[in-house]
Amino acid sequence: MHGADAAAVPRGRYVLRLYVTGLTPRSVRAVNNLRTICEEYLDGEYDLEVIDIYQQPMLASAEQIVAAPTLVKQLPLPMRRIIGDMSDRDRVLLGLDLVRVSDALPSHGGEKGTP
């Protein structure tokens, strides 16, 4: 879904905040996964701030962060939150409005009676 497919969803510059808990493997994986997605789909049109909630607990409190890693998409609106290590690529792309719901849903081959 790179190139023409990624450009199919209109967007502006992305402003993202990723809340993590130190340099744990889960936090490092979340940062790496998110940076990979951003570079592939946003082509430098994003600002990513990584916030360690151990070092800046007031920021996490102000944003009402209850789990980490948590990604907050501040812009473009609507604001969204994605919780987890960002390894579920389809879920992250959908949460960032980089794909349409119909693009992210698995195809059932048009079979009738399949849920």
Domain holding 23: CATH number?
Answer: 3.40.30.10
- How many distinct structural domains can be found in the chain? 1
Report the pLDDT value the prediction gives residue 31, as an integer from 0 to 100: 96
Domain assignment present for 50: yes
Domain assignment present for 31: yes
Selection from 83, 79, 54, 59 nearest residue 71 by Cα: 83
Domain assignment present for 76: yes
**What digits encode the pLDDT tens for the residues 21-65?**
999 999 999 999 999 999 999 998 999 999 999 999 999 999 999
Q: For residue 93, give its domain range.
A: 10-100
Domain assignment present for 36: yes
Residues 6+ apart with CB under 8 A from 49: 16, 17, 18
Residue with the bigger pLDDT between 34 and 115: it is: 34
Write out the two tokens for 56: 């800046």
Report the pLDDT value the prediction gives residue 110, as an integer from 0 to 100: 45
Domain assignment present for 4: no
Look at the pTM and tell me if it is higher than 0.85: no
Domain assignment present for 106: no
Over 50: is that where the pLDDT of 19 sits? yes
Domain assignment present for 77: yes
**What digits encode the pLDDT tens for the residues 69-105?**
999 999 999 999 999 989 999 999 999 999 876 665 5
Report the pLDDT value the prediction gives residue 73, as an integer from 0 to 100: 97
- The two beta strands, 80-83 and 70-75, are antiparallel
Report the pLDDT value the prediction gives residue 115, as an integer from 0 to 100: 44
Report the pLDDT value the prediction gives residue 34, as an integer from 0 to 100: 96
Domain assignment present for 114: no
